[in-house]
Amino acid sequence: MQRRDFLRVMGAGAAVVAVNPSTIGQTLYADNGQLYKAYEKVQLVKTDGSPVKAGDLEVEKTYVFNYPHAATPCFLINLADKADSEVSLKSEDGEEYVWSGAIGKNQSVVAYTAICPHQLTHANKVDSFISYVPKNKTTMAYKEGGVIVCGSHLSAYDPRRGAANLSGPAPQPLASIVLEHAADDTIWAVAVLGADKFHDYFKSFRSEFKEQWGGKRKAKKLVSISVPTVALTEYTKEVIQY
């Protein structure tokens, strides 16, 4: 290929990606692109700095990492079953987007923001009223386990289907974290898909950010290179489930 042709192909490719970033993953897209926001690609690591591997994640155990901001908590869960793929979801504003599916050998590893879009209940260092309820447990929020539940007002989300709403007052699914699964089984967070509510979140918990993160500015800082990933029970002092 001539240098000019090569540059032409590369330029056209870049333009396509710029117009529709989800072209990269081929399956992630939204009406106006606002529901897909790419951030720095960061690796999920353990507290000792070694990489988290998808195959090592305990089934139905909830892990937490902060992404894309220092204080925006996200759940990482290896579900008991293979997740669905190509799930159509709708934001509060009525914009449609598609959740492509889970990663890992069994297509069961998912990640979602641990911030309920209803009234922004979230996991923090003191407590978490939002959590994953394993399949063999019961919840007041839904007829069966295997769901993410916000205990504040009993909204339930389906982690197998892009955190689609199952019950309760939440107006939209949890935003999902787009993960990349490398050949060496490591996991990388690359983007947020869905309406994330981060803007409202950072406006609403000034005192908490001051107390737990040293201020809103530090809480809002974007993460870089890698993020520690720990069990929810280590991340927070108390998990409250209803």
Is residue 8 part of the contact set for other proteins (CB under 8 A)?
no
CB of 118 or CB of 161, closer to other proteins: 118
In the beta sheet, which residues pair with residue 176?
Answer: 112, 193
Site map 193..232 versus other proteins, x via CB under 8 A: ----------xx-xxx------------------------
Alpha-helix residue ranges (DSSP H) falling in the chain = 3-19, 198-204, 206-213, 216-220, 232-235
Is residue 151 part of the contact set for other proteins (CB under 8 A)?
yes
Q: Which of residues 109-128 bind other proteins (CB under 8 A)?
A: 119, 127
CB of 170 or CB of 227, closer to other proteins: 170
> 209 near 123, Cβ under 8 Å?
no
CB of 29 or CB of 213, closer to other proteins: 213
Q: Which of 46, 53, 61, 153 binds other proteins (CB under 8 A)?
A: 153
How would you label 39-62 residue by residue, b for 16+ Cβ within 10 Å and e otherwise? beebbbbeeeeebbbbeebeebeb
Q: Would you give the end-to-end CA distance of the chain in angstroms?
A: 62
Residues contacting other proteins: total by CB under 8 A: 13
Q: Which of residues 71-110 bind other proteins (CB under 8 A)?
A: none
What single string gives the DSSP state of each residue in 78-110? Answer: E-SSPPP-SEEEE-TTS-EEEE---BTTTT-EE
**Residues engaged in binding other proteins (CB under 8 A):** 119, 127, 129, 151-153, 203-204, 206-208, 240, 242
